């Protein structure tokens, strides 16, 4: 097991925010969640898959809902309720241990995202458990069934759902992951659009065959490049170039936001980002459509990149941008990173390919 320093944690979260492709929660919220753990120098260990015993239990805590804009005010309906002073995902994790009557050996992240991975790291820190160096998505994804657990037929239930108001709901069993998604999402909608969830409790043996290995290390590598470059006052474009070069990616576009209409619907943020090109891209347009995460992009009206490949965004300072924190005139550097391999298999594409989002487009890896 490797002990993670405060710097390591920051690198991981910055990398996750890049892999969030707009979703995965606000990086600022993720950093804030870990601030105290870092200041207090709480121990956090990264465990390799080989260090997880086959007969030990593991589970996956995360936040589910529609992330709010950073300055959003809370509705009066909710502000009158008592509030937890720690993340609801932590409450859901403890409730799961209590419900199944087993102590967990380690915590697994549910996706790589600026806030969602922080929830897993924070839960691990608070409980003194290691975080696994692996992930069931290898990026951020919009829906519960977009996971390698689903592709590998691992049961999502029982699930524990906790609200920010300290309420706990146990979803004992569902017909399938889609129904689990519908039910949990509906509870989120009734709870200020955000709940903490712990799901997929399973044995180490099952976990190992269902997961993308070395995922946290991968995020850390990306964060390292980002922080190194931006720390040396590189432009957003230079940071994007460096990450693309070192991680088999490709720079897609550089431009300013002309409009970014979006709406919150059914517990998701839906919208698009329209860009006008600058420098090398002057005279061109770019459009990214998102459902929490970036799903497909168009360059001058032609399909450019589509899921499961990653459409990542950095601002002019090289900082990751999360949906829906857009402003007209803001510079965005767009680049692609390759999808984890499992998503490009037939089963992977059936779950998280263009067709799932109703797009009449074949998945073609970006060149």
292 near other proteins (CB under 8 A):
no
Q: Site for other proteins (CB under 8 A): which residue of 102, 167, 238, 241?
A: 167
Q: Which C-beta is closer to other proteins: that of 73 or that of 172? A: 172
Q: Cα–Cα distances in Å, from 280 out to 67, 255, 258, 297?
A: 33, 10, 18, 18
Q: How far is the CB of 78 from other proteins (least distance, A)?
A: 10
Structural contact between residues 8 and 213, judged by C-beta atoms closer than 8 angstroms = no
Determine the interface stretch with other proteins among 37-45, 59-67, 188-196, 237-245 (rule: CB under 8 A): 188-196
CB 84: neighbour CB atoms within 10 A?
15
356 near other proteins (CB under 8 A):
no
Determine the interface stretch with other proteins among 47-55, 181-189, 245-253, 354-362 (rule: CB under 8 A): 181-189
302 near other proteins (CB under 8 A):
no
| Interstrand relation of 194-203 and 131-132 (parallel, antiparallel or unpaired) | unpaired
Which residues, 6+ apart, have CB-to-CB distance to 358 below 8 Å? none
Q: Which C-beta is closer to other proteins: that of 2 or that of 355? A: 355
Q: Site for other proteins (CB under 8 A): which residue of 165, 262, 298, 357?
A: 165
238 near other proteins (CB under 8 A):
no
Q: Could you give the 3-state DSSP secondary structure of residue 162?
A: strand
Q: Could you give the 3-state DSSP secondary structure of residue 233?
A: coil
**Pattern 62-91, other proteins, x by CB under 8 A:** -------------------xx---------
Structural contact between residues 142 and 307, judged by C-beta atoms closer than 8 angstroms = no
- Residue in the block written with tokens 């994790």: 93
Q: How far is the CB of 195 from other proteins (least distance, A)?
A: 10
Determine the interface stretch with other proteins among 55-63, 142-150, 166-174, 293-301 (rule: CB under 8 A): 166-174
Cis-peptide into 106, omega within 30 deg: no
Distance CA 168, CA 330 (A): 40
Q: Which C-beta is closer to other proteins: that of 133 or that of 192? A: 192
Distance CA 77, CA 267 (A): 17
Q: Site for other proteins (CB under 8 A): which residue of 42, 152, 179, 208?
A: 179
Q: Which residues pair with 312 in a beta bridge?
A: 335
Q: Site for other proteins (CB under 8 A): which residue of 175, 248, 360, 367?
A: 175
Does an H or E element contain 312, and which? Answer: strand 310-314
> Which residues of the shown chain bind other proteins in the complex (CB under 8 A)?
81-82, 95, 165-175, 179, 182-183, 185-187, 189-191
């Amino acid at each position: 097991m490797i002990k993670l320093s405060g710097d390591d944690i920051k690198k991981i979260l910055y990398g996750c925010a890049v892999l969030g492709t707009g979703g995965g929660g606000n990086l600022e919220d993720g950093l804030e969640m870990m601030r105290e753990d870092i200041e207090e120098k709480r121990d956090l260990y990264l465990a390799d898959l080989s260090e997880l015993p086959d007969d030990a239990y593991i589970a996956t805590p995360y936040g589910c809902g529609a992330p709010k804009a950073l300055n959003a005010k809370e509705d009066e309906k909710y502000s009158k309720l008592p509030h937890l002073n720690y993340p609801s995902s932590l409450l859901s994790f403890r409730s799961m241990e209590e419900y199944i009557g087993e102590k967990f050996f380690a915590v697994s992240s549910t996706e790589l995202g600026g806030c969602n991975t922080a929830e897993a790291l924070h839960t691990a820190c608070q409980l003194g458990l290691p975080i696994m160096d692996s992930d069931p998505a290898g990026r951020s994804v919009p829906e519960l069934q977009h996971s390698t657990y689903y592709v590998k037929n691992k049961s999502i239930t029982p699930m524990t759902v906790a609200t920010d108001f300290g309420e706990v709901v146990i979803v004992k069993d569902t017909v399938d992951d889609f129904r689990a998604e519908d039910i949990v999402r509906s509870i989120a909608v009734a709870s200020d659009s955000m709940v903490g969830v712990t799901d997929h409790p399973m044995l180490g043996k099952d976990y190992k065959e269902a997961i993308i290995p070395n995922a946290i290390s991968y995020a850390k590598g990306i964060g390292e490049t980002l922080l190194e470059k931006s720390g040396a006052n590189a432009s957003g474009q230079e940071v994007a170039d460096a990450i693309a070069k070192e991680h088999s990616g490709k720079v897609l576009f550089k431009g300013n936001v002309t409009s970014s209409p979006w709406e919150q619907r059914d517990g998701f943020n839906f919208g698009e980002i329209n860009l006008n090109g600058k420098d090398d891209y002057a005279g061109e347009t770019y459009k990214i459509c998102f459902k929490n995460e970036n799903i497909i992009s168009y360059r001058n009206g032609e399909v450019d990149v589509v899921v499961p490949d990653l459409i990542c965004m950095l601002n002019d300072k090289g900082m990751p941008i999360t949906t829906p924190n857009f402003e007209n005139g803001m510079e965005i550097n767009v680049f692609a990173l390759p999808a984890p391999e499992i998503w490009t298999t037939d089963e992977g594409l059936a779950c998280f390919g263009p067709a799932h989002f109703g797009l009449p487009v074949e998945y073609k890896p970006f060149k």
